[in-house]
A and B are shown apart, each in its own frame.
Chain A
């Protein structure tokens, strides 16, 4: 099945460390997104990419950076992790030209803990 995968699934790191979260998809979608989820705050958009050359900041991009290495791969980096970046991170994809328009398909998530 075409799918969205994320690695690692769980990660514990220390304050100040650089960490990369990776997302791969086999859906053939051009659009990819990174979200973080905190209890009671829903999902907040960090970065999104409409194609390999088009990357945009979301509502909470400070402290994060991204790289779109190929259509299928979109990585999220925390340059210097801090404890309030402890959260559940989701990658998602979409195909706006499908009949279901903006519907997004989510990966399984990465649980990140920053000590």
Chain B
């Protein structure tokens, strides 16, 4: 059974600082997805990582995937208040296009 763990679960950081959110998964998969959720809102797709070594960047966020380590990171550079949200990673099984298993999420709060 595929398990997906994120850490930290809660992160409070100051504006301007850098930090990394980690997503570990338990069985082999070569793809991973990151989503953002604002309070009371739906999930919005952030990054689609489709191979080992994939790196995607948008603004102050950068995501990477290491399929051998079963690890993805979401790096935040020079955080700003607008990045406050909950971030989820999601992993599919290696074979087949079935269903995603979501991590429990990281609630990120950026404080001035």
Contact = CB atoms under 8 A, between A and B. Distances in A.
Interface of A: 31, 33, 40-43, 45, 48, 58, 90, 92, 94, 96, 100-109
Given A40-B104, A41-B104, A100-B48, A106 B42 contact: yes
Interface of B: 9, 31, 33, 41-45, 48, 50, 88, 90, 92, 97-100, 102-105
Nearest to B45: A103
B29 to A, nearest CB: 10
Contacts of B100: 102, 104
Contact of B33 (A31, A103, A108): A103
Nearest to A35: B102
A101 B31 contact: yes
A88 to B, nearest CB: 8
A42 B105 contact: yes
Contacts, number: 51
30 contacts: A31-B97, A40-B9, A40-B104, A41-B104, A42-B88, A42-B102, A42-B103, A42-B105, A43-B43, A43-B88, A43-B102, A45-B99, A58-B99, A90-B42, A96-B97, A101-B31, A101-B48, A101-B50, A101-B92, A101-B97, A102-B31, A102-B99, A102-B100, A103-B33, A103-B48, A104-B90, A106-B43, A106-B44, A108-B42, A109-B41
Contacts of B43: 43, 90, 92, 106
A109 B42 contact: yes
Nearest to B96: A96
A107 B37 CA distance: 12
A42 B105 CA distance: 6
Contacts of A100: 48, 50
A74 B79 CA distance: 39
